[in-house]
Amino acid sequence: MERTDIAIVGGGAAGLTAAIYAARERLAAVLIDDYPGGQILQAALVDNYPGLPEISGEELGEAFRQHAQDKGAVFLESTVAHIKRENDIFVLTLDDGVQTSELRARSVIYAAGCRHRLLGVEGEARLTGHGVSYCASCDAAFYPQKTVAVVGGGNTALGDALLLSRIAETVYLIHRRDTFRASAALVEAVKQTDNIQLILHTVPLEICGEKAVTGIRLRNQNDQTQQLLQIDGVFAAVGMQPDTAMVSDFVRCDETGYVIAGEDGITSCPGLFAAGDIRTKQLRQVITAAADGANCVRSAEHYLRTRKG
């Protein structure tokens, strides 16, 4: 059984930044991910990371990975199947697709991220990063004077529609019900925005296009009629699922499953630090994930220094 001081779970921006900072501090740390890079790899273009305008998500993710590697970070290409806590030690069960093994760690930086809830329609997977987006604050700037659709009925969906309305020419807001789960203020703001068109009682059936989004096929829930909207982009806002099942038994999470932690990454479980999209925070972006990774290393270093063993 291998041992380390810090096990970094997740190879996105948060995990890779943690690996860089841990390597610079000469800490015994291991990053575990079957394919480091994270969700940013799916982005066709990233235009809001300082100093690197108009870089592809694949290039940015690879730059993070290469930076960590150049600093001497240790990678385990595997997935974490289970985490348990034995006294002050974390035992991680790893699965590399061939066999399982165990890693014992004095601390864990948990940066497993979130999964976007998918629409589950034809064309979604093929066109993700090519007109299908799950982050309006990331990608809205790519649609000036274009036509886009937002799918969803909560605060995120309506907020995305308002953000896009300031950039795009027309925003279709598609929702399966006739009422919204969003706050009354957001609903009122959407209804007063001239270039947001509501399409209610409606669900998406297919996202159309070969190399880029060209349309979305819809079905009305009341009369089952179908229509095809000609659009340039689809923003899915039907929720996120934080990947916290492995730690929810011994760390406090909020009602939606996010690990409760501040910017220092400190959680209710001593020795376990939360970084990136899985922690409670206002903004989930690559830049805030990177900041979390750095802060968690600082917190983990202090934790290790004040404990024996």
pLDDT in tens, 121-163: 999 999 999 999 998 888 999 999 999 999 999 988 999 999 9
pLDDT in tens, 69-103: 999 999 999 999 999 999 899 999 999 889 999 99
**Stretch 262-286: mean pLDDT:** 95
Angle at the Cα of 25 from the Cα atoms of 19 and 26, rounded to 5 degrees = 85
Pick the more confident residue, 276 or 41.
Answer: 276
With 80 as the cut, is the pLDDT of residue 281 above it?
yes
Catalytic residue chosen out of the listed positions 33, 34, 70, 139: 139
pLDDT in tens, 221-254: 999 999 999 999 999 999 888 999 999 999 999 9
pLDDT the model gives residue 42: 67
With 60 as the cut, is the pLDDT of residue 116 above it?
yes
pLDDT the model gives residue 80: 95
As a whole number, the mean pLDDT across the chain is 93
**E strands along the chain, which residues?**
2-9, 29-32, 74-76, 79-86, 89-95, 100-110, 114-116, 132-133, 147-151, 170-174, 196-199, 202-208, 215-220, 226-230, 233-236, 240-242, 272-274
Pick the more confident residue, 90 or 35.
Answer: 90
Banded model confidence at residue 44, pLDDT cuts 50, 70, 90? low
CB of 175 closer than 8 Å to CB of 199: yes
208 is catalytic: no
Catalytic residue chosen out of the listed positions 33, 114, 135, 208: 135
pLDDT the model gives residue 284: 85
pLDDT in tens, 162-201: 999 999 999 999 999 999 988 899 999 999 999 999 999 9
Helix/strand/coil (H/E/C) assignment for every residue in 111-172: CCCEEECCCCCECHHHHECCCEECCHHHHHHHCCCCEEEEECCCHHHHHHHHHHHCCCCEEE
CB of 69 closer than 8 Å to CB of 16: no
pLDDT the model gives residue 135: 87
With a pLDDT cut of 70, the percent of the chain lying above it is 98
254 is catalytic: no
The tokens describing 210, both together, are 């070969």
Query: 196-205, 275-284, 300-309: which range is least confident on average?
Result: 300-309
269 is catalytic: no
CB of 60 closer than 8 Å to CB of 47: no
Catalytic residue chosen out of the listed positions 33, 88, 95, 138: 138
> What letter would DSSP give residue 7?
E
Q: What's the whole-model pTM score? A: 0.74
**Stretch 4-9: mean pLDDT:** 97
**Stretch 268-294: mean pLDDT:** 95
SS3 173: strand
pLDDT the model gives residue 4: 96
Banded model confidence at residue 119, pLDDT cuts 50, 70, 90? very high
pLDDT the model gives residue 1: 55
Instruction: Point out which residues pair with 244 in neighbouring strands.
Output: none
